[in-house]
Amino acid sequence: MSETPADREESEFGDPLNKIWSACVLPYVGVTDVRRVVFRTVTDSSDESRASWLREARDHAAALLA
């Protein structure tokens, strides 16, 4: 989850978390299929949005195990 709007994060930082995990951490423990999903903006999100994010996260996790 992120508190930073997507356009600002991309323009100022690129995707540092993805770079760290996909290039510097996960390959060394045998993970080659790295997928990152970001849910934003958390602080002012509705209960409905958060419930939807949880469903989406469950769907992504289930797809990795299928």
pLDDT tens, position by position, for the chain (66 residues)?
Answer: 678 887 887 888 788 888 899 999 999 999 998 989 989 888 999 999 999 999 999 999 999 888
pLDDT of amino acid 66: 86
Give yes or no for a contact between 39 and 53, defined as CB atoms under 8 angstroms apart.
yes
At 1 the pLDDT is: 65
- What integer pLDDT is reported at residue 4 of this predicted model? 80
Q: Cβ(20)–Cβ(38) under 8 Å? A: no
